[in-house]
Amino acid sequence: MSANTETGSGEMISLAQYILDRLYEAGVHDLFGVPGDFVLGFFNFLEKSKIKYIGTCNELEAAYAADGYARMKGIGAVSTTYNVGELSAMNGVAGAWAEMVPVVKLTGCPATPHFKKGTLLHHTLGDYEAALKMFKRITVDAEILLDIEKAPEQVDRILTNCLRHSRPVYIGIPSDLVKRMVPKPKQPFKKPEREHSNPQALKEAVSEVMGMLKAAKAPMMIPGVELHRFNLVEMWQGLLETSGLPYATMMLSKSILSEDHPQFIGLYSGARSREGVRKPVEDSDCVLIFGEMLTDFNTGGFSAALKPDRCVSVMRDSVQVSHHVYHEVYIWDFIQALHEEMVASAYKPSLAEPITPAYLTCVHRATHRKQTMFQVDGSKQLTQHRFFERIANFLKPTDIVLAETGSAMFAVAETMMPHGAKFVAQIFYGSIGYTTGAALGTAIAEKDKRTVLFIGDGSFQVTVQGLSTMIKEGVKPVIFLINNDGYTIERVIVDHPYNDVQPWKYAQLVEAFGGGKGIKVSNEGELEKALEVANTATELTFIEAVFDRWDCNESLKAAGRQMAISNELLEKEGEAEAVQQN
């Protein structure tokens, strides 16, 4: 029995209460879900618990919301009924798995006798473990609690693994066990301690990397998503500032530190990067990469010219130096040990070139960083370039900025965030519609901060019901609907009618859903008035911004060309070039 499951005076509580108490102690204070008959008993206990229930319009929205919540709070949870509910949520859990987001998936299951008999009960597939088998592929731990004696220890183990690995987990709760009594734990849930590195491997890894740094003429760092997931940002920042090295981020780790940091040079996306970022990264003779995933969008379609013999890749449980790997070296131990070695050896880099701050190279930056202020041309039709130039000055410190997969994501990625603002996007998994639910989650998690969402019309149509939940819950995000008449991210790959969507009167949806302020803008003067409304709003603000259907930034066009080639979608010579010229 683990320390988490030690029992005390013999007091008993229901299994449902045990699970809810453990969730709350782990950091889940709000739970997203949709009711269904097999989960109603659990929901009856949920209503009386410390955890607030947030009912959503569908299960996919709930899963996306739990993901957004977890990115802010360190853990999130979603609860649905068996099969028909949980399979609708599965895509959201898969995205959390891909991007290392700790989400707890709770499922209300049929009573245990049905599992034993395999009865043809509604919502079932005959095979009562079918959904469990599916979830095991996208969770770090998954269990249906069929044995009441083992259930408490299973719950604690599953939650521990969720936090230890920063991955989703799955707990199935049979309806007849919800009220069954289990021993009340002696101690509150304890978050897992970090594993310890092999001392000799750690020492050798640090020694080799320090040797590379001392010999390098242009060393630099790239922080990654694992720093955020494992709560290591502050530790890494200490190392960064002691080192004096420049750093660039990839899209997954954008805004990991405030983007006005003097050592930050900008966003690196391989060949799609601005020259002021691409050249120092690719010319570096020692690149230290901390916990980043080298995905296609992160690396500009795998165009990153990072020479392996010049790279050190520090991941959760290993350090790769050039072509060899130190196993059992954990990222937290390595950062601390390298920092200590830098201090002990009074390390000072011999940089061949001075650090060029990011605001000199990013595409869209706050106007206070420019020589001239943004000049509004009232009658000028909106263009995405000018729109995001203006948005860069609209954003506030501590804003949580979400950007949907598509033209919004690529444009916001190149927009400099103000001090303290955070960027959220599903860079790796890229499920369209994700950010509507995720924005609900971030707004619930950070009620004292402003959530700002940028989403395209095609993606919005996938998860539009999330707007209703936001209004119901009284959260007040600012939502920018990028209306460019369809799936632009697909159009830049190949232009066919299946990328068109039915035009909606988007700005009127707010009224249809029962609250908030909806505004439609098509020129800069209208946009300016809408931004004034948003800046003083006491309710949800929805701004539909109308653009030409081919208006998007160069990074998205380059991504479209690369995807067209890699997916063998070009039907004739020069088709990609023709698409890009639109």
For residue 456, give the nearest of 422, 490, 424, 433 by alpha carbon. 433
For the record, the structure tokens of 246 come out as 């420049």
Backbone angles phi, psi at 439, to 5 degrees: -65, -35
Q: According to DSSP H, which parts of 74-198 are helical?
A: 86-98, 112-117, 130-136, 151-165
Q: Is 486 annotated as a binding residue?
A: yes
Q: Is 27 annotated as a binding residue?
A: no
Whether the CA torsion 470, 472, 474, 479 is positive or negative: it is positive
| Strand, coil or helix: 487 | coil
Q: Is 457 annotated as a binding residue?
A: yes
For the record, the structure tokens of 160 come out as 């521990």
Q: Evaluate whether 569 touches 494 at the Cβ level (below 8 Å).
A: yes
Q: What is the DSSP string of 276-310?
A: HHHHHHHH-SEEEEES----TTTTTTTT----GGG
For the record, the structure tokens of 54 come out as 């947030």
Q: Evaluate whether 162 touches 169 at the Cβ level (below 8 Å).
A: yes
What lies within 8 Å, CB to CB, of 166 at 6+ separation is: 100, 101, 102, 226, 229, 230
Distances (CA, A) of 537 to 259, 523, 534: 27, 21, 5
Whether the CA torsion 184, 185, 191, 195 is positive or negative: it is negative
Distances (CA, A) of 317 to 74, 194, 196, 206: 20, 11, 10, 14
Q: What is the DSSP letter of 103?
A: E
Q: If you search the block for the tokens 């290392």, which residue do you land on?
A: 100
Q: What is the DSSP letter of 328?
A: S
Q: Tell me the binding residues.
A: 457, 484, 486
Annotated binding-site ranges for Mg(2+): 457, 484, 486
